[in-house]
A and B are shown apart, each in its own frame.
Chain A
Amino acid sequence: AQSVTQLGSHVSVSEGALVLLRCNYSSSVPPYLFWYVQYPNQGLQLLLKYTTGATLVKGINGFEAEFKKSETSFHLTKPSAHMSDAAEYFCAVRTNSGYSTLTFGKGTMLRVSP
């Protein structure tokens, strides 16, 4: 089975501060990991994904994430938050174990204050 845990349903930062959104996964086989962002009344948009190779993955809008196998983590970071980053962020995992599904975490709502 595969699962995702996102620590913190809500995270608040000030504009210009570091953004850190935590994601831990559980998988018995090598995972493929994804971060999606969801703005109000919009569909999910892919920020970045890890498949194979380099463990530090850069995505859109200045976000990046690092796959750490020893910690079963895939935390999302951005050095300097912008007001437009306020949205809900979902971490997801998929594997070659026969599951066709992306398994999502419950999401983290990011609030950015001026």
Chain B
Amino acid sequence: GAGVSQTPSNKVTEKGKYVELRCDPISGHTALYWYRQSLGQGPEFLIYFQGTGAADDSGLPNDRFFAVRPEGSVSTLKIQRTERGDSAVYLCASSLTGGVPDTQYFGPGTRLTVL
């Protein structure tokens, strides 16, 4: 079956612009996660959805970052007034139930570059 997909694969934008990053999880997975991976670092948690609701958004760095999952499937990560420090690879993952032992399946990521 299809894995987690993310679009676009690359996004270049200018400082101050707004961007949207999209994630299509594995069909039937109720849990969806966003992570950010900076150069030389492991992925860092941003937000976790259980169904349509954000169960944990404690990893969002500030109020310029927002994510939605309106129908419990596709999710969009939105970044307002982008800054150069937002440049990173944004990873999306999904899991079947969100349970702690569940395997999280990762997409290939969106590489965001803010000039």
Contacts and interface: CB of A to CB of B under 8 A. Distances in A.
A96 B99 CA distance: 9
A101 B59 contact: yes
Contacts of A95: 100
Interface stretch (A12-20, A38-46, A66-74, A75-83): A38-46
How big is chain B's contact interface, by range? 20 to 34
A43 B48 contact: no
B55 interface: yes
A108 to B, nearest CB: 10
A74 to B, nearest CB: 14
B7 interface: no
A43 B107 contact: yes
B91 A44 contact: yes
Given A49-B101, A101-B59, A43 B91 contact: yes
Contact of A106 (B40, B45, B100, B103): B40
B77 interface: no
Interface string A16-43: 0000000000000000101010000111
B42 A104 contact: yes
Given A9-B40, A101-B33, 7 more contacts: A32-B101, A42-B108, A43-B109, A49-B101, A101-B45, A101-B56, A107-B41
Interface of B: 3-4, 33, 35, 40-45, 48, 55-56, 59, 91, 93, 98, 100-101, 103-109
30 contacts: A9-B40, A32-B100, A32-B101, A34-B103, A41-B108, A43-B3, A43-B107, A43-B108, A44-B43, A44-B91, A44-B93, A46-B104, A46-B105, A49-B103, A90-B42, A92-B42, A95-B100, A100-B33, A100-B45, A100-B55, A100-B98, A101-B33, A102-B33, A102-B35, A103-B45, A104-B43, A104-B44, A106-B40, A106-B41, A107-B42
